[in-house]
Amino acid sequence: MSDPIGVAVIGLGVGAAHARAAARHAGARVVVLADRDPDRLREVAREHPGAATTPDAEEAIAWPGVDVVVVATYDADHGAQVLAALNHGRDVFAEKPLCTRREELDAIAARLTAARGLHLSSNLILRRDPRFIAAHQVIRQGKLGEVFHVEGHYLYGRLEKLTHGWRGRDPAYSVMLGGGTHVLDALAWLTGLRFGAVIGALHGNVASRAAGSPFAGPDQCTALLRLGDAASAIVTANFGCVRPHAHHLTIYGTDATLRLDESGVLFTRSRDRDNPGAWWCRAWTAPDKGVLLTAFLDALLAGAPPEPSFADIEHVLRTAMAIDRVAGGR
């Protein structure tokens, strides 16, 4: 029997869920935990008595016996830490966004090309949500016909994360990279189409200003994009909305329309108001935060490609970065 996969987890906010997922996996073990907050580090370490601890992410990445590095730190730190892990020959599972700057993404892509044996994936977790899986099955069966328009809305409903949290202390924080990437990935995955040109995009920060917050960056972003050869897409990342956190998607096809929200999935096959031929998928439970790390470890052990692939992640990131450039007038 081969040795278990040695896992390092850096950043123990959402990273605590990843550490638990690694500890539960029969083919893995938590080797080292890292966080700059000593109280949080001690708290999470109590769940993993066999793991080493360090406040230094670089030290954790280089720790003996580490095969996989889980990057769950602040967004602006991701790129350098992912690249450092790859340069140490580690496979990487990262929270989204994988990185926040084009230069970092270029360097990560170049490193993966040069070291073809390395694997990388990111926690675009909507792919494991039962509602999205049900929608994926309907669309891939061809029941929508040809997709001609989609809309995806990342409704965060947690303005305090900008006004009082670490996001608000990052002068370059991007709501599209930090949140909108979820719906960008979901729309590309569901339809099997790629985003093209960004036709237009707008940033706003009305909600932050109304709250009297010193946060000066945008708390909302809206974009109009090309999708595939003929379809259009509207995507928003809305952190300031007054409502609970949710993801709302609508996909319009020539034969049917699919709408997904917190209620479930509504599949409508008719324009007749009295007989819409609707089908509901209501039952769902939110996936555990560590479910995609479990799948990543499974793929490594099976010698299979991880999902989402780096090509998928790169496409979503370059699209989000292009949206920010257009919204910022660059």
pLDDT tens digit at each of 330 positions of the chain: 479 999 999 999 999 999 999 999 999 999 999 999 999 999 999 999 999 999 999 999 999 999 999 999 999 999 999 999 999 999 999 999 999 999 999 999 999 999 989 999 999 999 999 999 999 999 999 999 999 999 999 999 888 888 888 888 888 899 999 999 999 999 999 999 999 999 999 999 999 888 887 777 899 999 999 999 999 999 999 999 999 999 999 999 999 999 999 988 999 999 998 888 787 777 677 788 899 999 999 999 999 999 999 999 999 999 999 999 999 976
Per DSSP, 288 falls in state P
- Residue of 155, 162, 154 lying closest to 211 (CA atoms): 162
250 vs 152: CA distance, rounded Å: 7
Per DSSP, 176 falls in state I
Dihedral pair phi/psi, residue 259, rounded to 5°? -125, 135
Q: Virtual CA dihedral for 11, 13, 14, 19, nearest 10 degrees? A: 60
Instruction: Note the pLDDT of residue 1.
Output: 43
Cα torsion angle, 233, 249, 315, 326, sign: positive
Quickly name the fold that domain 5-118 has.
Answer: Rossmann fold (3.40.50)
Map out the domains of the chain as residue ranges: 5-118, 128-289+318-327
Crossing angle (nearest 10°) for helices 15-24 and 291-302: 40
308 vs 320: CA distance, rounded Å: 16
**The CATH number, out of the four listed (3.90.1150.10, 3.30.360.10, 3.40.50.20, 1.20.140.10), of the domain defined by the range 128-289+318-327:** 3.30.360.10
Whole-prediction pTM: 0.95
Cβ atoms of 250 and 257 closer than 8 Å: yes
Per DSSP, 145 falls in state -
Instruction: Note the pLDDT of residue 283.
Output: 64
- Single-letter code of the amino acid located at 198: V
